[in-house]
Chains A and B, each alone.
Chain A
Amino acid sequence: MAPRLALLLLLAVPAHAEEAPPGASGCFGCHSPTRADAAIPSLRGRDPAEVATLLRAFREGTRPSTVMDRLARGFTEAESRTIAAWVVR
């Protein structure tokens, strides 16, 4: 019985939007997907390649920033690209 119960539970969970890659959901702590008047820019609708390039520049310290350099250093190039592709949706 227990496995069936588990199965029923599984089926009842709707498939949700593509899962956030590790770290990506944290971006929304500052970058609001909904506030239009924010000083910290929204990421929604941006070009993912542009966001990935910015993340690399922050990581490598070639673009001035306040906090983004410190955060971007927590991710590799490949991770940054995956995050960039997700946060712009």
Chain B
Amino acid sequence: MKVTRRALAGLLATPALAQAAPAVVVIGGGFGGASCARALRRNGLAVTLVEPNATYTACPFSNAVIAGLRPLQRQRFGYDALRAQGIAVVHQAATGVDAAARRVTLTDGSVLAYDRLVLAPGITLRFDALPGYDEAAASVLPHAWQAGAQTELLRSQLDAMEDGGTVVMAIPANPYRCPPGPYERASLIAHFLKTRKPRSKLLVLDAKDVFSKQRLFEAAWASLYPGLLEYVPLSAGGRVTGVDLAARAVVTEFGNHAGAVVNVIPPQRAGEIARIAGAADRSGWCPIDPGSFESRLLPGVHVIGDAAIAGAMPKSAFAANAQARVCADAITALLRGAPVPEPRLLNTCYSLVAPGYGISVAGVYRPAEGVLADIPGAGGTSPLDAPASVREVEAGYAEDWFETITADAFG
């Protein structure tokens, strides 16, 4: 079978093929999407990144911003380095995905054709999950679980609170973005209160009994914040079921808890475009092949980062960045017609329980029985009995990691 001139002309007229290299569209410019776009481009592919915001505000270390330990400005990153690398950055939202036709529609109605699509849409906060807690309520009782104006709002409320006030935090059940994040936040808010408003209290209400780095957090709380931080797990009535906005209170089965400052971290699901595209299942998250991150529901579409169901891998910036590299190499192999090698992925998540006091959890993962599974014997948390010098080193590594990961993602 010969390719006739006419057929060839037809091929070249197809937008995705008229370019020198196959086209990959990446939706979402966070740690997963930006890192993946850069890795794909390094692999020689034509990449378009679709991200509505000109500036990304990073969540890791935003708890330090809330506690007044760091300016929000240090959380902000732009996309100039991606453009300089030859990535087309389009500041619009994706409004539709036609996986059969391999096309993405944008807010202005324009259409991007792709050979492979990467969805890295992060999370959507479920404002339908806790009665009384909708988007308007979040402007009074901040979630601060997507960094930016919400981070500033919670920080300014803590600043304005009178000494002797009660801060209330509501933490959701799994899965959600950044499993240890709420406990780091509780720690750093407690540090803020201890040093700035020592007659105040922090009440932490949790919809679960078991959480990431639990023994390390609880040991640190007992030694650093006794009598200041009260933790109420699910089994002691900690599950928040709703919000009474007028009373500035959260609702539990056992009564309401009002606070001068109330931080509600609501349940979450994959970013909205994942649902629109049809990449999310009934759980609200996106099932994927653990070797290539290709969607189990949409061929030719890959999902990385918080939106993906990544088995034992947590929803973290580190994980999103690691998945981005593996996904970029898988896409490159697929477009070359080469086999996708079985990946091995890493994660390391640092948390600060006070300035200069860092703890970590790490994992190594491989595909097993259709999901990303922990490699037995690897991973785990910082030792419970480590000296202060180790906590200080880990706090320093946390900062260093942030510099490295943001340089990798945003240049």
Instruction: Collect the chain A residues with CB atoms within 8 Å of residue B341's CB.
Output: 19, 22
- Indicate if B233 sits at the interface (CB-CB under 8 A): no
Report yes or no: B348 in contact with A74, Cβ–Cβ below 8 A. no
| Known contacts A23-B364, A70-B380; A38/B404 CB under 8 A | yes
- Indicate if A86 sits at the interface (CB-CB under 8 A): no
Report yes or no: A73 in contact with B378, Cβ–Cβ below 8 A. yes
Given A10, A12, A67, A79, which contacts B348 in the complex, CB threshold below 8 Å? Answer: A67
- How near does chain A come to B30, taking the closest CB pair, in angstroms? 15
- Indicate if A45 sits at the interface (CB-CB under 8 A): no
B 159-199 contacts with A by CB, 8 A: none
Report yes or no: A32 in contact with B403, Cβ–Cβ below 8 A. yes
- Indicate if A78 sits at the interface (CB-CB under 8 A): no
Report yes or no: A9 in contact with B404, Cβ–Cβ below 8 A. no
Q: What 0/1 readout, one digit per residue, does chain B (64-95) give for beta carbons within 8 Å of chain A?
A: 00000000000000000000000000000000
- How near does chain A come to B405, taking the closest CB pair, in angstroms? 6
Report yes or no: B335 in contact with A66, Cβ–Cβ below 8 A. no
Q: Bound complex: CA of A61 vs CA of B17, how far in Å?
A: 52
| Known contacts A28-B408, A32-B408, A73-B378; A66/B390 CB under 8 A | yes
B377 to A, closest residue via Cβ: A73
Report yes or no: A8 in contact with B346, Cβ–Cβ below 8 A. no
Question: How many residues on the A side are at the interface (Cβ–Cβ under 8 A)?
Answer: 39
| Known contacts A38-B403, A71-B364; A30/B342 CB under 8 A | no
| Known contacts A1-B7, A31-B404; A6/B337 CB under 8 A | yes
- Indicate if B21 sits at the interface (CB-CB under 8 A): yes
Report yes or no: B346 in contact with A71, Cβ–Cβ below 8 A. yes
Given B17, B364, B400, which contacts A9 in the complex, CB threshold below 8 Å? Answer: B17
Given B115, B325, B399, B404, which contacts A26 in the complex, CB threshold below 8 Å? Answer: B325
- How near does chain A come to B201, taking the closest CB pair, in angstroms? 33
Report yes or no: B362 in contact with A70, Cβ–Cβ below 8 A. yes
| Known contacts A10-B336, A13-B45, A29-B322; A66/B393 CB under 8 A | yes
- How near does chain A come to B289, taking the closest CB pair, in angstroms? 16
- Indicate if B52 sits at the interface (CB-CB under 8 A): no
B322 to A, closest residue via Cβ: A26
Q: Bound complex: CA of A8 vs CA of B1, how far in Å?
A: 14
A30 to B, closest residue via Cβ: B401
A 11-51 contacts with B by CB, 8 A: 12-17, 19-20, 22-23, 25-32, 34-35, 38-40
Residues of B bordering A, CB below 8 Å = 1, 3, 7, 11, 17, 19-22, 42-45, 115, 318, 321-322, 325-326, 329, 332-333, 335-337, 341-346, 348, 360, 362, 364, 366, 375, 377-380, 382, 390, 393-394, 396-397, 399-401, 403-405, 407-408
Having A8-B17, A13-B45, one finds 13 other A-B pairs with CB under 8 Å, namely A4-B3, A12-B22, A20-B329, A25-B322, A29-B346, A29-B408, A30-B401, A39-B396, A66-B360, A66-B382, A67-B362, A71-B346, A79-B344
